[in-house]
Amino acid sequence: MITYDSRNWLAALALHRADTFRALLPVLILVGLFTWVVGYVETEYLRLSRQDFVSNLPTMHGLMGFAISMLLVFRTNTAYDRWWEARKQWGQLVNVSRNVAIKVAAILPADDQQIRVDFARLIAAFAQALAAHLRSEKTRLALDATQHPELELDSWDPAMHVPARIASLLHDRVHRAYRAGAITGDQLIGLASDLAAFMDICGACERIKNTPIPYSYSSFLKKFIVIYSLTLPFGFVFTLGYIAVPVVVFIFYVLASLEIIAEEIEEPFGLDINDLPLDRLCEVIDANARELLAPRRSAPTRP
């Protein structure tokens, strides 16, 4: 994933693939041409003057500018709240994964290597499965199918909820250890509450993914921005002349960019540069689980 230093002002001025200027360039050209045509018609063809009623349109734009700014603030804040809530859920997933790995590592015997490896792989597999599930991708788990035949995805129903299946396998491993006498009833209760947090996080992320911003609100704001921007030239030409072309283009660029940014961050589980770095978070969870549950030898007993 490409990252950018927000403190580097020169880098911020450069165009990258996530820059809204690239996405809006064709529309910006059309807005500039429209502004030039309006200016030419009003000043050269119709020969309107500053005493004409059209010159009073900036008064309306000044009043409507406050309304559109409030709508954009609400739109951006709502989208960012969704992005931040998703980030908190994945931060919680990192913490829960570490807590489960720490508890399992402390409870299980140091020489029980296989079950430690199983837990490390399943904890990492849940994060990978959740990321793929939220992106509507086919899950690809880095697990040994010979040791985990139940994780052979080719034999699974395509409609299966893979994160729930992984969480079920984690619960199964814990109850197996309980029945084998490796953990006590109190330890089982403590682990079960931590394991339940996996699906709580999954449900919270699904709520964000499956509850988009109402289309009517977003559509209305786009129409408002377009109408507001396209009526600017009719009044600005009398005070700015043909300088109104870059001014109107810049105003439209700012307003439309805020809407585009809000659209990008309101869906935080994608693959865009503004989305959450789910792959990196999965790598962190995998590395932590393997480190905490790494097989180790039993400490020698003192005579």
Any residues with CB less than 8 A from the CB of 135 and at least 6 apart, and which?
A: 269, 270, 271, 278
Over residues 70-84, the pLDDT tens digits come to 999 999 999 999 999
Average pLDDT of the residues of the chain: 84
Over residues 84-132, the pLDDT tens digits come to 999 999 999 999 999 999 999 988 877 777 888 889 999 999 999 999 9
Residue 166 near residue 125 (C-beta atoms within 8 A): yes
Residue with the larger pLDDT of the pair 7 and 186: 186
Residue with the larger pLDDT of the pair 218 and 92: 92
Task: Enter the pTM of the model.
Answer: 0.81
